[in-house]
Structure 1
Amino acid sequence: MNSNKLLTGAGIGALMLGMSTAAFAANWRYAIEEYEGDVQDVFAQEFKRYVEENSDHNVQVYRFGELGESDDMMEQLQNGILQFFNQSPGFTGSLIPSAQIFFVPYLLPTDMQTVLEFFDESKAINEMFPKLYAEHGIELLKMYPEGEMVITTDEPIKTVEDFQNKKIRIMTNPLLAETYNAFGATPTPLPWGEVYGGLQTGILDGQENPIFWIESGKLYEVSPHLTFTGHGWFTTALLANQDFYEGLSKENKQLVDAATEAAYDLTTEHIQGLAEESLNKIKKNCDKCTFTHLDDQQVAKLKKKAPQVEKAFVEMAGETGKKLLKQFNADLEAVKSDKE
């Protein structure tokens, strides 16, 4: 991003000032990893609207940069400074290795409706994941997709060989590193606040993100060659501090659950067509940008790399990861069968 906002003493001071010593504070604090108008912000603002229209509570939304990087906000959630936090499983992978399953390439389909149906109906998503988060004092309220991942680079990528030695920025996620190693690139972990500058100065050769984030963050200005590989989706999750959530009254717990469902419904509607809208904005604003959809032959080459990443996932996540992967595949088959 152009602006690299840092966590300051003043920011933490303002946050602490807004805290109540009561566990059931009427001022609920909710942090997201994105900026105004982005997908997580759409979710958060609808959650806020629902809570405030149906109770006397207030929801204070903190956008990216106001409270630090993702790891900082997760620590604040676990310590009870935040009541709610939207975090991608990509960042949660170091805490919950099984959450890295979303970075096994070509596991999820590319069709929007199939993906949405999977998130609605998946036992892995809705039954297994909440138990995994609960082991770390976190209440998983909802997982949802934001958009298909797109890779941007300093040069056009037309073949798998073009990935060779490209320094691609990744989240701090061991399995995502395995994916880009398998693709032939050089995975380069870097905090989000440093990505725009890293691309601009050549520290990085590229990065991956959903197209709306590439457009809103103007990453195309410094990484103008977009490659569509169909290898994965960006997924995020609304989390709550478990002590806070379990300590809510029955009415307030129902309020939080209803607000979550309202936000989910609005957001899943919002993301439909968002990729095309964002792509058109980039095309309008960037004469030097190129847009490459890898052909079937090149995609097949990348898909051949997926089993080694899947194997690495099982090694990292152990028996739990093996069970989760089995359920993931069963859920995906069920969704596909429904469409036949």
Structure 2
Amino acid sequence: MSATHKILPRLTALTLGTCLMGSALAAEAVTLRLATDSGTQGSPAGDALETWARLIEENSDGEIDVNVYYQNELGGQQELFDLLVSGDVHLMLNWPMTSYDRRIGVIYTPYMTLSWEEAMEAYSPGGWVNELLGDIYADIGLKFFGPWPEGFNGVASRGSYALTTEEAGDLAVRTMTVFPAPQTMQALGYQTAAIDWGEVYTALQTGVVDGEAGNVIYWPYEYFRDILDYYVHTKHFFMTGILTMNMETFESLSEEHQRVVTAAAEEVMNQQFVAAREQDEYYIAKAQEDGMEYFELSDEQLREFARLAREQVWPLMGEEIGEEIMDVIRANATPL
């Protein structure tokens, strides 16, 4: 008789029951893959991923294990979004792609809001932009937890900069590969090239473009400050990542695990709503200290850019995302 057979008869019913319960818990153990399309380890986005993963693991008492993947570790922006929709990546902090549903482009509608206060109200839970996004994400099989706001973006460039549409005509800038990013910059007078984030440094280095027009100042400062000289705060988009999850994966979790994942996402989101403005202002100051020249538009200049973008891009938005959504935007956007 084997040693195992000698031991088994000595197990009491209580001990056996305990062992079986432990086996059941082990069977419920889950491993989730959490990724971002933009942000290396140690970046604000990377730190957010680590916090989200830690909260999930701690609050599930170790029943959920989370593997974290940073920028470019699993592919480019579109590849990673494909993995999320297919369920090969389970959780994600990403900057939305519109390939599966053009309506996601609502987040890139130019000049919906013109101030931090208006933007935070619109994107916070219960805000009008937040609620629009939640419904759209559900339609493509994704669980929408909420925004991860960064702030208003601008144009970083080298050699020269533009404060008017006439000056912008001499500059070619990289835009995100989503609608209506190129169209918005064209409305402001720029030449454009839609380039994936992972290829921006090479495009700048080789002179394919003169600048980058997709981000808050943190990104061009942190990644391209050896190339770029100027940052004009055009504020054409309020930039925010999105905390989301593959819906099929979410629904496969136990109710308790769903609560853990959701609560962790909400904590990460709430932390960023508090930190975002201070973080953006810190990097505006930091960039200037390190030699990048920064330009804040006057209220008159900002409203002129907003007028141009709304006149030229908003009608295109209506064709892409639907007039019903555009009616909500028009009703809630900052008056000019």
Aligned residue number for residue 66 of structure 1: 73
- What is the aligned partner in structure 2 of residue 304 from structure 1? 307
Query: Aligned partners of 2:314 and 2:157: how far apart in 1?
Result: 25
Q: Which amino acid letter does the alignment assign opposite residue 294 of structure 1? A: L
5 Å-filtered alignment, 1:1-340, equals: 26-33=30-37, 34-55=39-60, 56=62, 57-89=64-96, 92-111=97-116, 113-122=117-126, 124-154=128-158, 155-208=160-213, 209-217=215-223, 219-286=224-291, 289-305=292-308, 306-318=310-322, 322-331=323-332
Residue type matched to 2:296 in 1?
H
AA matched with 2:239: F
Unaligned runs of 5+ in 1: 1-21
Cα drift, residue 103 of structure 1: 2.5
Tell me if structure 2 keeps the 8 A contact 1:32–1:62.
Answer: yes
Rg (Cα) greater in structure: 2
Contact 1:24 1:247 in 2 (8 A): no
Match of 1:18 in 2: none
User: Judging changes above 3 Å, is the alpha-carbon distance between structure 1 residues 163 and 244 closer, same or farther for their aligned structure 2 residues?
Assistant: same
SS in structure 2 at match of 1:59: strand
Q: Provide the C-alpha distance between the structure 2 equivalents of 1:312 and 1:328, rounded to a whole number of angstroms.
A: 14
CA drift at 1:36: 2.2
CA drift at 1:51? 1.0
Relative to structure 1, the CA distance from residue 41 to residue 330 in structure 2 (aligned partners, 3 Å threshold; closer, same or farther) is: farther
- Indicate the residue corresponding to 2:10 in structure 1: none
Q: 1:157 to 1:140 in 2, by over 3 A?
A: same
Higher relative contact order (CA 8 A, sep 6+): 1
Secondary structure at the aligned position of 1:31 is classed as: strand
Q: Secondary structure at the match of 2:99?
A: coil
Amino acid at match of 2:67: Q
Q: Distance in 1 between matches of 2:318 and 2:217?
A: 29
TM-score by length of 2: 0.83
1:332 deviation in Å?
Answer: 5.3
TM-score normalized by structure 1? 0.82
- CA offsets, 1:23-62, max 9 Å, x none? 9652211001212233322322221121111111121111
User: Within 2, Cα distance between the matches of 1:295 and 1:23?
Assistant: 60
Report % sequence identity.
25
Q: Which runs of 5+ in 2 are unaligned?
A: 1-25
